[in-house]
Structure 1
């Protein structure tokens, strides 16, 4: 089942807009898109990878669907489904509607004297899709066609997955520009406690994805969200999994105490940037990688 109108309105109140007619896809303007238009800063993805924040479309084709209920997720997890039951919108509709909604959400900046006019004009034609807003995008039945349609429109794509649809990932024909796999635990016990998988065999499926990751032609990235007191332990365990996956990059990022996660975690679970650097250095040393960049404002470190 997809979200009903009341559930959609609740998310719309927090800035979401829904594409299509079936209540499963949508977009939201990223905090850093707004900051960039006002020349007040950019997302770490611009610093790390050259993705222009003011031209980034933050979206998801599967907002209410996920195999996990992570404690650190900013969403209201009461509407999380693991099986797709019902109709769905086609990729072309989702993309066209998302771009139109993206522009509509930015229209207020055109009356803002502090807005960078050049960036604002360029923001009308986003050229990167951050497919990470909410939910598990691999659960969208036409994810392969969605990637193909973005590519046809000359978008770069950053696709974030929790890695539990290992067989579907293996069959993905249209790879993203960069594939992110979330790795938020060094062992199965920590994983179950923190990520709360809703299907059986989840840890094995994640490990299958890690094993297969090196076969992708696209750039790949392991991303770890560090929750102080929960999963910032056992760097050797993380290193073993990173070495198995052999990704292009590793991003180690602090949990941010925002949204509905504040009902499950506290500010004490949010690491300082120096703690992220120290933890990252341990993993770097164990994986023969090095810290090549970091963003203090986002509390994230990049290993290569």
Structure 2
């Protein structure tokens, strides 16, 4: 187990619920899951891709492990390690634990008269797994089996990767429903400064993963987190990478000044909706795409 008792307690205070004997996996109820149950709005993923926010299970099988220490990450990066250490729990155990944890976290809504009863009941049986909560999911030794087990239970799966493990990506037998690769820099210099890789050849690994993207049959998305003053430039270089990857969609999203990122960045690094819209328009124009949708409350644009 990589997390000590103090770190586990700190993360539990932040809403994480750890599952399994080895405590490397966790669930955390998304802000939009709660909003949806109260009929106060839905996540942009529902708007863009049709998944239901109140039935989404936000999890990670590898909370303590990641190859990067991105400046914009809202997580506490002091506890992350770049390689798997210790034993690991089985996929079924992780999924059962995360569903139970989410049910327990949502039980208070049964006493809330503002909760939509139908949605609340449905929320007890989630049907989409957002495998993206914290850490790098591809580092979990049984990521293939985890995706397969979710699909066996009739879940859709949204897998987010930082692209540092192209060889694992290439050998993935069970494709997720939707594969995200994070593209947070247009070139190596900005990547090293903003994503702060803790492994060698980070930029090369990312590019290898991006070159693999077109070989996948599932829905493919490049995800860009925009940090004002850092990576909202060199539009032509972004466009070259996007054209090479040929994804189904590109998400261009503003960095949000929340969590531990506030220790590394300032409020001024958070772009406005207008700045995101203008930047997304410039990128779209350079790579022959269009802004197909937008969610202003999340400061995100969808290119297709």
The TM-score bracket by the shorter chain reads: over 0.9
Shift of residue 4, structure 1, vs aligned partner: 1.7
Residue of structure 1 in register with 2:164 after alignment: 164
The secondary structure found in structure 1 opposite 2:168 is helix
Task: Say yes or no: does 1:137 pair with 2:156.
Answer: no
Shift of residue 85, structure 1, vs aligned partner: 1.4
Q: What CA distance in whole angstroms lies between the structure 2 residues aligned with 1:35 and 1:260?
A: 23
Contact 1:188–1:203 under 8 Å retained in 2: yes
Shift of residue 138, structure 1, vs aligned partner: 0.1
- What TM-score do you get using the length of structure 2 for normalisation? 0.99
Shift of residue 150, structure 1, vs aligned partner: 0.3
Shift of residue 6, structure 1, vs aligned partner: 1.7
List aligned pairs for 1:277-296, cutoff 5 A. 277-296=277-296
Q: What CA distance in whole angstroms lies between the structure 1 residues aligned with 2:285 and 2:270?
A: 24
Shift of residue 268, structure 1, vs aligned partner: 0.2
Residue of structure 1 in register with 2:179 after alignment: 179
Following TM superposition, where does structure 1 have runs of at least 4 consecutive aligned residues deviating by more than 6 angstroms? none
The secondary structure found in structure 1 opposite 2:251 is strand
Cα deviations across residues 112-159 of structure 1 (Å, max 9, x unaligned)? 000000000000000000001000000000000000000000000000
* Stretches of structure 1 lacking an aligned partner (at least 5 in a row): none
Q: What CA distance in whole angstroms lies between the structure 2 residues aligned with 1:106 and 1:121?
A: 10
Task: Say yes or no: does 1:219 pair with 2:249.
Answer: no
Residue of structure 2 in register with 1:303 after alignment: 303
Task: Say yes or no: does 1:51 pair with 2:38.
Answer: no
Shift of residue 163, structure 1, vs aligned partner: 0.4
Q: What CA distance in whole angstroms lies between the structure 2 residues aligned with 1:155 and 1:4?
A: 32
Residue of structure 2 in register with 1:231 after alignment: 231
Shift of residue 257, structure 1, vs aligned partner: 0.4
Shift of residue 7, structure 1, vs aligned partner: 1.0
C-alpha RMSD of the superposition: 0.6
Contact 1:75–1:260 under 8 Å retained in 2: yes
Cα deviations across residues 172-199 of structure 1 (Å, max 9, x unaligned)? 0000000000000000000000000000
Q: What CA distance in whole angstroms lies between the structure 2 residues aligned with 1:85 and 1:224?
A: 29
Residue of structure 2 in register with 1:68 after alignment: 68
Contact 1:4–1:23 under 8 Å retained in 2: no
Residue of structure 2 in register with 1:125 after alignment: 125
Shift of residue 54, structure 1, vs aligned partner: 0.2
How many residue pairs were aligned? Answer: 304
Residue of structure 2 in register with 1:11 after alignment: 11
Q: What CA distance in whole angstroms lies between the structure 1 residues aligned with 2:5 and 2:91?
A: 21
